Structure 1
Amino acid sequence: MKKALSLTTLIVALTLALAGCGSNGADSSSGGSVSHNQQDVTFATDMIPHHLQAVQMAEMAQTQASLPAVRTLAEEIKAAQGPEIETMSGWLKGWGEDVPDESMGGMDGMDSGSSDSMPGMMSDQAMSDLGAATGDTFDQMWLESMIAHHEGAVQMSDTEIADGKDPDAVALAKSIKAAQTTEIATMKKLLAP
């Protein structure tokens, strides 16, 4: 017991020493607790359910879209956002914060109060309507909804870029902004007659 306790004490001491060395935020794996702020926590906590909803929407498109370009874009969105969810979940765990439940990305209560911090989130009713649509109607609804969803993610990313402290979180926000801005342009072209 005493040996296990001293090993734990040694690990904690080493972690604190490494965190002190890495306090410039360059190494967030060892200095994570030092290199982040509340905005980083808010960004990850809000972006996880935001991404989860986009993944749900992408899964719908894979079976309900009529345009091959919509299905392809949906696959790309799912492929990009799945790993980003894992990354942000890892940060929150490392920071000792709660990780949003995967069901939060769905249709549970996102259409009220929380939508201020998560712009672009679809309401329960809108998700239900999208789920019931098919063919050209689905494509139109999906593209319009995903454009709004992406615009919300870009807005959330801008806040993180401006106010975040963790270099990895800020870098992810920049990556999300760049990718989703490009996807918005693609979706607007698909909507154009």
Structure 2
Amino acid sequence: MRKLLIGASAAAALALIAGCGNSGNDSGMAGHGTMNTGTPTSTSTSAPAAATGNNADDISFAQGMIPHHGQAVEMAKLVPSRSTDPKVLDLAKRIQQAQDPEIQQLTDMLKEWGSAPTSTPSTPGMDHGGHGSAGSGGMMTAEEMKQLEAAKGAEFDRMWMQMMIKHHEGAIEMARTELSKGASAEAKALAQKIIDAQQAEITEMQGLMK
């Protein structure tokens, strides 16, 4: 009987020791779990939004240059039916070929930036705000366009080149503003292209007028 009691006591003691050991392990496991859940990870922080690469001046440049180019194209389209000078005819063709794709490029940039392009004025001579007067950028008035449409021959050539020089000078000024204030690399590259091309065309027209 004494042996049985001693054996039972020993078994109970072993069970108690085992229970304490399991309790300590569970506590340790729980402690590790709390540390894991309480430690923030780098993926929980949102990354900063990517830069758009453009600013309000880029948008103004594109929205202003679309109708500006649009009027230059309309002026170029008048030449074949009114001029007989092969040099003027060639220049008008080159202006149209250069500026039509640039209008599309400017439109595509505005769409990429989530901005609506301004409409090309339905009445030639309207400025960027849709008014019948010359706006910034050397735009022709509706009256000036009517005078140009009514001219023929040498008179037309002279008037057309005078107006186109003024028009180009306005575009160059707009492009220079984009270079100094814009942020879009594509828009600034186009602005520089406009400056280079239209300054060369101004020089060419000044030579033809002499």
Q: Which amino acid aligns with 2:135?
A: S
State how far apart, in whole Å, the 2-side matches of 1:174 and 1:153 are.
Answer: 11
* Equivalent residues in 2 for 1:103-118, closer than 5 Å: 103-104=121-122, 106-108=124-126, 109-112=130-133, 115-116=135-136
State how far apart, in whole Å, the 2-side matches of 1:126 and 1:170 are.
Answer: 31
Q: Report the CA distance between 1:107 and its aligned residue.
A: 3.3
Larger relative contact order (Cα-Cα within 8 Å, sequence gap ≥ 6): 1
Change (3 A) 1:110 1:137: farther
Q: Which amino acid aligns with 2:179?
A: I
| Identity fraction in percent | 41
Partner of 1:12: none
Partner of 1:184: 202
State how far apart, in whole Å, the 1-side matches of 2:150 and 2:111 are.
Answer: 36
1:122 matched to 2:140? The reply is yes
1:50/1:105 contact within 8 Å kept: no
- Which one of the candidate residues 171, 177, 191 is aligned to 2:189? 171
Q: Report the CA distance between 1:111 and its aligned residue.
A: 3.9
1:65/1:134 contact within 8 Å kept: yes
- Post-superposition CA distance 1:70-128 (Å, at most 9, x none): 0100000000000000000011112111212233573344443x713xx2100000001
Point out where structure 2 has 5 or more consecutive residues left out of the alignment.
Answer: 1-46
Partner of 1:147: 165
- Which one of the candidate residues 86, 109, 120 is aligned to 1:91? 109
Q: Which amino acid aligns with 1:66?
A: T
Partner of 1:50: 68
State how far apart, in whole Å, the 2-side matches of 1:107 and 1:36 are.
Answer: 29
Q: Which amino acid aligns with 1:36?
A: N
State how far apart, in whole Å, the 2-side matches of 1:97 and 1:80 are.
Answer: 24
State how far apart, in whole Å, the 2-side matches of 1:190 and 1:160 are.
Answer: 30
Greater CA drift, 96-105 or 171-180: 96-105
Point out where structure 1 has 5 or more consecutive residues left out of the alignment.
Answer: 1-16, 24-33
- Post-superposition CA distance 1:127-167 (Å, at most 9, x none): 01101110000000000000000000000000001101000
Structure with bigger helix share is: 1
Return structure 1 stretches of 4+ with deviation > 4 angstroms: none
- Which one of the candidate residues 178, 183, 208 is aligned to 1:160? 178
1:48/1:105 contact within 8 Å kept: no
Cα-Cα RMSD = 1.7
1:65/1:138 contact within 8 Å kept: yes
2:123/2:142 contact within 8 Å kept: no
Q: Which amino acid aligns with 1:179?
A: A
TM-score normalized with structure 1 length: 0.78
Q: How many residues align?
A: 160
Larger gyration radius, structure 1 or structure 2: 2
